[in-house]
Amino acid sequence: MSGKPGEGKSGTKPKRPTPNVVGFDALRAMVIGCPYHAWLGLDLVRLDEAEVEIRMPWRAEMVSDPTVRYTHGGILAALVDLAADYAIAAKLGRGVPTIDMRVDFHKTALEGEALRAIGKLIKLGRTLAVAEASVLRESDGDLIASGRGVYLTKAE
Amino acid sequence: MSGKPGEGKSGTKPKRPTPNVVGFDALRAMVIGCPYHAWLGLDLVRLDEAEVEIRMPWRAEMVSDPTVRYTHGGILAALVDLAADYAIAAKLGRGVPTIDMRVDFHKTALEGEALRAIGKLIKLGRTLAVAEASVLRESDGDLIASGRGVYLTKAE
Amino acid sequence: MSGKPGEGKSGTKPKRPTPNVVGFDALRAMVIGCPYHAWLGLDLVRLDEAEVEIRMPWRAEMVSDPTVRYTHGGILAALVDLAADYAIAAKLGRGVPTIDMRVDFHKTALEGEALRAIGKLIKLGRTLAVAEASVLRESDGDLIASGRGVYLTKAE
Amino acid sequence: MSGKPGEGKSGTKPKRPTPNVVGFDALRAMVIGCPYHAWLGLDLVRLDEAEVEIRMPWRAEMVSDPTVRYTHGGILAALVDLAADYAIAAKLGRGVPTIDMRVDFHKTALEGEALRAIGKLIKLGRTLAVAEASVLRESDGDLIASGRGVYLTKAE
């Protein structure tokens, strides 16, 4: 590290993570109670103050290209969206509607590869929240996709 | 319409749409040949020089919230991604990898509602292409979601 | 155009554009009353029910690369953001805060090239609105950048 | 933290940060050598293997709303874009063209507030790279904006 004299690291507030208002079992019930998540085979595998982690096994109907047989981008987009959503749900005790999202695709997930999606809060506000997520290959932690979304936190 | 004198509509080139290099049957074979698309029940219903249009029926496993029963955002994201992709595929004769995408969610799609996704090219280059898509409710054409993505057109 | 029998163009509602609530002079006063816009040299050149069009001349301080001398991406991003914003402002009579935005860069704008940014509403709601914009080279209408954003329409 | 037995934290590879190929002075010369950056008053204030940090003082021409006097979103978008770009430049020794970017706006930056933009690499590939950036208020580290972009790393 190097820098000009007198201009060091910015005075970032020590981050006090927002406390969770739901425990592991309650959040897990929300994750697995959604019909599309059941079809995807999702399970919550970790919840702490900083992150939620969701596991997705592989299934043949997720395949995009019939010859190369990689997992469809729409499946990866769903993982980014929902992992970011549950990172907010852990702080609010309820899921929130997605306003918009962005996904970057880094590497293909191939046949038989289970994935882990890790969601993290960026900013929690009374009207809106922003959260991000990374999708990793379970076997070696390689980054498959990542992204972020904006969610409506205001109860209507 | 009104404007300052002498400063009218910008000199937009008359848009000559890039010609398609595949016909309806060949593109339809690509759409329905993908295992995830088969699970979604997709079908190509229209192809012209300007747009591709894909139909998706509803199925119970697409549901996000078990009580309100709206279609999962990951399903809508898949529709935006693939309709934009096929708008490019019509010009190149092959599908292209998605680099990244954005989806805006405008309205929930409810139980039993079939959807139409319309893809359109924005810019076709030798390395990259950008395309957009809208997802409409079939019954009345209401806008459910829309978005855009960047795709890698350079063959590797 | 071709299609399967009985499955034609989706039943898109004939689009009735949302009426404008401000005229050209009032919207122009908003555009040019912003200090950064004054620095950019912006002017409103067209307003109709469907689109707003804003002109930006070139200035030397906008340059990114000192040798190739193309206009900085941050300038193009500002154009996308503000043209989309004024497309909403025309319908509401006031500017709206940007929640998030996406910009795709298609081609570099070079030294001396004036640009036109065209904004268009995608969806206007009571809490949120989505709008898009394209940035064209004035001389020939070539597409330089395009994008979209989400805006907060709810007055706080 | 809690979790189901036998399903702990995913096997994320210990991240070996990609080494920088340029030092602080060389990267700083790149940052300040760009005419738009000179106008913005940017300076590189930190470079390490994980992050680049750039400082921007306030100036009156950056203001968006003439009464509330907050900094224009296009200025914040430029900061996100360029901080992410220099996070890649530190690894390659050259700036890279932005393909597309997303910015989330979290809080307004008010009159007189200097900002810090921190860029970080997400994924470096031979054709493409993805990087992210956060814009903080210098005085207290509050998060003002954040985002990410895709960049073309392939030399043409």
Taking each continuous run of H as one helix and of E as one strand, the counts in chain B are 3, 6
Q: What pLDDT is stored for residue B13 in this prediction?
A: 52
Interval B21-63: pLDDT, tens: 999 999 999 999 999 999 999 999 999 999 999 999 999 999 9
For chain B, what is the radius of gyration of the CA atoms? 17
Band (pLDDT 50/70/90 cuts) for residue C6 is very low
Q: Is the Cβ–Cβ distance between A67 and B69 less than 8 Å?
A: no
Mean pLDDT of D46-61: 98
Q: Is residue B41 part of a domain?
A: yes
Q: Is B106 on the interface with D (CB under 8 A)?
A: no
Residues of A in Cβ contact (< 8 Å) with B36: 61-64, 72, 74-75
Q: Is the Cβ–Cβ distance between A54 and A117 less than 8 Å?
A: yes
- The rounded distance, in Å, linking the Cα atoms of A137 and B74 is 19
Q: What pLDDT is stored for residue C13 in this prediction?
A: 52
Q: Is residue A74 part of a domain?
A: yes
Mean pLDDT of C116-130: 98
Q: Is residue B7 part of a domain?
A: no
Q: Is residue D51 part of a domain?
A: yes
Question: Which are the contacts of A14, defined by CB distance < 8 A and separation ≥ 6?
Answer: none
Q: What pLDDT is stored for residue C127 in this prediction?
A: 97
Q: Is residue D78 part of a domain?
A: yes
Q: Is residue A13 part of a domain?
A: no
Q: What pLDDT is stored for residue A65 in this prediction?
A: 87
| Residue B133 confidence (pLDDT) above 50 | yes
Q: Is residue B5 part of a domain?
A: no
Q: Is the Cβ–Cβ distance between C128 and C84 less than 8 Å?
A: no
Interval A103-156: pLDDT, tens: 999 999 999 999 999 999 999 999 999 999 999 999 999 999 999 999 999 986
Q: What pLDDT is stored for residue B93 in this prediction?
A: 96
Nearest CA-CA partner of C120 in C104, C141, C99, C135: C135
- The rounded distance, in Å, linking the Cα atoms of D146 and A146 is 15
Distance of CA A114 to the CA centre of its chain: 15
Interval C23-74: pLDDT, tens: 999 999 999 999 999 999 999 999 999 999 999 999 999 999 888 899 999 9
Interval D119-144: pLDDT, tens: 999 999 999 999 999 999 999 999 99
Question: Least CB-CB distance to C13: which of B4, B130, B141?
Answer: B141
| Residue D49 confidence (pLDDT) above 60 | yes
| Residue C8 confidence (pLDDT) above 50 | no
Which segment of C87-96, D10-19, D32-41 scores lowest on mean pLDDT?
D10-19
Taking each continuous run of H as one helix and of E as one strand, the counts in chain D are 3, 6
For D16, the token pair is 């070996």
Contacting chains of C (3 CB pairs or more, <8 Å) are A, B, D
Q: Work out whether strand A98-105 and strand B98-105 pair parallel, antiparallel, or are unpaired.
A: antiparallel
User: Which of D75, D82, D98 has the highest number of chain C CBs within 10 A, making it the mutation to test binding with C?
Assistant: D98
Using the beta-carbon criterion (under 8 Å), do A127 and C100 form an inter-chain contact? no
Domain extent for B51: 24-152
Q: What pLDDT is stored for residue A156 in this prediction?
A: 62
If one counts every other C-beta atom within 10 angstroms of the C-beta of residue D2, the result is 12
Structural domain count of chain C: 1
Q: Is residue A16 part of a domain?
A: no
What's the angle, vertex CA D153, arms to CA D42 and CA A74, rounded to 5? Answer: 105
CATH code of the domain in which C77 resides: 3.10.129.10
**pTM for the full model?**
0.92
Nearest CA-CA partner of A125 in A87, A104, A154: A154
Residues of B in Cβ contact (< 8 Å) with C116: 10
Q: What pLDDT is stored for residue C104 in this prediction?
A: 98
Percent of chain A with pLDDT over 70: 90
User: Which of C126, C127, C153 has the highest number of chain A CBs within 10 A, making it the mutation to test binding with A?
Assistant: C127
